[in-house]
Amino acid sequence: MSNKSCIALLLDGPMQSWGFSSRFTRRTTALHPTKSGVVGILAAALGIDKNGADEARQIARLAKLEVTTVTLPKNHNERELPIVRLSDYHTIGGGYDDDDWMKRPRAASGAKLNTVLSERHYLLDARFGVLLEGEPEWLEEIAAKLRNPTWGIWLGRKCCIPATPLFVGVGGNRAEAWALLLKAAGLKQESILTDFDHVIEGAAAEGLDAEWLNDSPVAFGAPIGERHVPRRIRQVRRK
């Protein structure tokens, strides 16, 4: 019998964005929460300083948690809403005065050649469940901070604010946490994991349909800088 406990999270908001291959000016999103995004939420709740000397050690401890993400239905007027991908267009830096540009307003015309064009993707009408498995004492510490986080929590980007409480509860095992998640999401208690699209990782993800995602965080800031390593996942479609 496993001695692991399990935390249940409910990620629900008007917009979400889970980057895993974003480069330069094109910031894409996965169709499910990434491990780096979930660990980022936990790091914010715990108050881990990304510029601290021991940040990598603390992130490594969080990255050892086993993460399962579940795509949950979101209904409006008795109709299940499809997940929609939004592409948002940005310009950065154009029209600023060269000297002390932080203190000057944008110019109405005459944008300069150093204007940066950026494309950012978001998910609309998405709702996800997350199961985090790990040592009981460590999960209780995380749960306490999720109830009263040190810093703000968002769903991948600062503009993606949760619409409901993120922390659901701690179960003595995976089955208990799953029951808590179903209740919080207003879903049938007899529902099982295979009733939903979900993503598993690690040893459970072995098989011909396994894939590697550069998504397990090593650090988010100094002194190493933002860095990730691959993790093995399997995307399981609902039956």
**pLDDT (0 to 100) of residue 221:** 86
Supply the pLDDT for residue 226: 82
What was the pLDDT predicted at 137? 96
Cα 96–Cα 102–Cα 104 angle in degrees, nearest 5: 55
| CATH code for the domain in which residue 143 is found | 3.30.70.2660
Position 174 in a domain = yes
pLDDT digit string, tens, across residues 151-188: 999 999 999 999 999 999 999 999 999 999 999 999 99
Provide the domain limits for residue 66: 5-87+122-236
How many domains, in total, are found in the chain? 1
* Residue 107 maps to a domain: no
Prediction pTM value: 0.87
Residues of the chain under the 70 pLDDT cut = 1-2, 22-24, 93-114
Residue 94 lies in a domain: no
Q: Where are the alpha helices (DSSP H) in the chain?
A: 35-46, 55-63, 136-147, 174-185
170 found inside a domain: yes
Gap between the Cα atoms of 239 and 233, Å rounded: 19
Position 109 scores a pLDDT of: 52
Distance from C-alpha of 230 to C-alpha of 40, rounded to nearest angstrom: 16
